[in-house]
Amino acid sequence: MVLGVEGTQSWRDDDALDQALRRFYRVGTRPLTAPADSDNDGMDDVWELRRGLNPLNPADALEDPDGDGYSNLEEYLARTDPHAFNPAPQIAIHSPRDGGVLP
């Protein structure tokens, strides 16, 4: 069963024909500018499906599978990969006098 298509990519549930693993889906279309967020966790369904998250479980918004200190919701908002460690941004303050980096 095809769950969705974006460009040349599609998402399928290959178990949909297995009676024991049968799931239920609501079928519809939405504009790309207003993606569905079925569990209201702030991350759209397609983004969650593409990254192995659960679009029906809001608890995964607070998880941090790559251990970088950024939650899945923060990674979604920053458009980073929630499964790839992202180092914290480095901030340097430069002196207005000589341009040197202040401690």
Residues forming the site for Ca ion (CB under 5 A): 37, 39, 41, 43, 57, 60, 64, 66, 68, 70
> Between residues 16 and 68, which has the closer beta carbon with respect to Ca ion?
68
Q: What angle do CA 26, 22, 64 make, to 5 degrees?
A: 75
Find the shortest distance in angstroms from Cβ 95 to Ca ion: 34
> Between residues 1 and 84, which has the closer beta carbon with respect to Ca ion?
84
> Between residues 10 and 57, which has the closer beta carbon with respect to Ca ion?
57
Find the shortest distance in angstroms from Cβ 72 to Ca ion: 7
**Helices and strands counted in the chain (H then E):** 2, 2
User: What is the phi/psi pair of residue 38, to 5°?
Assistant: -60, -35
Q: Which amino acid is at 86?
A: N
Per the listing, tokens 């569905």 go with 36
Find the shortest distance in angstroms from Cβ 102 to Ca ion: 30
